[in-house]
Structure 1
């Protein structure tokens, strides 16, 4: 039996309403902070498409007010489950913006686990959006995704990730990060999101790196969702390199 839900998140962004609109209501903008690849056709009644590692979901745009409101509703599944998203944009003084996210719909039998995962996951995604508009506004990020199912418990995974990233002290925002991935240039940056035991983010001069643990109830998967802004970044080469990295990461 389906379970209706509604989830609301608010965030202050160091960007204008126009910049925020470009980030949330265009395919290239969404690709720069959210996982997978997205396509958005403008106008109410048009269609959107999101591809996450071959899993494709489509939706209909239900609200289109540039600079103010963007909303869409996903196609319902055979069991009646569906997701709807609404973004409300409000300009503030000195060029900042308040963004309200409202996600609603109907979840399946395992709704409690799904709801908790969405609630925490949005903290990471909105934190990534904030980093994108603050540090990479006007640029388009190339998304790179990699997975390792059944990677290990949260404690095991985060200990391994911290070692691999060269983090020697507590995993806190501002901690320095230095590491290498075979076949790619060395990476040097700082932790900019510290949401353990669920997620960890690293920001460099030309990328946002995101590491997400799915949780024990969702298979103990380690998911990487990076956004590359450097001109020399090639997702066709970078994607396999990161997949090899996560597959070879010594855990436990």
Structure 2
């Protein structure tokens, strides 16, 4: 694939020494705690797999193209494989913080996922910051249910928040508790909001973080309830509640629109 010059460059300042931040950015348990489940062979040329869902086609194989602990790691699709590359660099500072930077390249000229990935990476890098601030050294188990609806993002957000019985735009610091019947327990403190997004520091069903979102997927809307839960109780809750959230989201699906 020819280099189009189309890239995503983002950075975030996080709490932690360089070794702690490296483990969060470059190892399977670390990345799984704020992004999607990963398995990684921790060496140059090692295999890497990202799991975006339970289906076999959602298991994305890759490679550790560069491994330079504790400052730089590069993931790609493998030797001779065209596609996206993900380069992470860590710059430590004297005040127990680090700047984590992402250089995501390999996009085609009209790649439909480009804009959505910018928004997605902003969310995940914010979650990296929360992981290191509140749960450094721990590993989360994720539950990442998502549905795709043929509605606008605003309509998707109204369906999601209405079904859960919560405000569309709560205040930071508010206590949020899901009030819907037949859905898994979810409660915590609102720590950030944006149009069609709520970020929570969760205490039920276990300590962790959560994101409720409705995002433009280019012709459809992606509605998500993503949870990152810590400890043995968190692992049990994630395994128990993931299928319950998937079933509930499927039940909320709007009627198919006529051509």
Q: Which of the five TM-score ranges fits, normalised by the shorter chain?
A: 0.7 to 0.9
- Which residue number in structure 2 is paired with residue 92 of structure 1? 93
- Which residue number in structure 1 is paired with residue 127 of structure 2? 128
**TM-score calculated relative to the size of structure 1:** 0.85
Alignment of 1:90-239 (within 5 A): 90-107=91-108, 110-111=110-111, 113-150=112-149, 152-168=151-167, 170-179=169-178, 182=182, 184=184, 186-197=185-196, 199-205=197-203, 206-215=207-216, 217-233=218-234, 234=236, 235-239=238-242
Q: Take 1:76 and 1:210, find their aligned partners in 2: how far apart are those partners?
A: 35
Q: 1:10 Cα deviation (Å)?
A: 1.1
Q: 1:251 Cα deviation (Å)?
A: 6.3
Alignment of 1:57-76 (within 5 A): 57-75=60-78
Q: What is the count of residue pairs matched by the alignment?
A: 245
| Mean CA deviation greater in 212-221 or 116-125 | 212-221
Q: Take 1:178 and 1:195, find their aligned partners in 2: how far apart are those partners?
A: 18
Distance 1:100 1:201, change over 3 A: same
| Mean CA deviation greater in 187-196 or 18-27 | 187-196
Q: Take 1:225 and 1:193, find their aligned partners in 2: how far apart are those partners?
A: 15
- Residue 176 of structure 1 contacts residue 189 of structure 1 at CA under 8 Å; is this kept in 2? yes
- Residue 189 of structure 2 contacts residue 202 of structure 2 at CA under 8 Å; is this kept in 1? yes
Distance 1:190 1:29, change over 3 A: same
Q: Take 2:90 and 2:20, find their aligned partners in 1: how far apart are those partners?
A: 11
- Which residue number in structure 1 is paired with residue 8 of structure 2? 7
**Structure 1 gap ranges (5+):** none
| Mean CA deviation greater in 6-15 or 234-243 | 234-243
Q: Take 1:240 and 1:115, find their aligned partners in 2: how far apart are those partners?
A: 29
**Structure 2 gap ranges (5+):** none
Q: Take 1:166 and 1:91, find their aligned partners in 2: how far apart are those partners?
A: 43
Q: 1:31 Cα deviation (Å)?
A: 0.9
Q: Take 1:176 and 1:26, find their aligned partners in 2: how far apart are those partners?
A: 33
Q: Take 1:136 and 1:245, find their aligned partners in 2: how far apart are those partners?
A: 29
Q: 1:139 Cα deviation (Å)?
A: 1.2
Q: 1:231 Cα deviation (Å)?
A: 2.4
- Residue 40 of structure 2 contacts residue 48 of structure 2 at CA under 8 Å; is this kept in 1? yes
Q: 1:169 Cα deviation (Å)?
A: 7.1
Q: Take 1:127 and 1:143, find their aligned partners in 2: how far apart are those partners?
A: 16
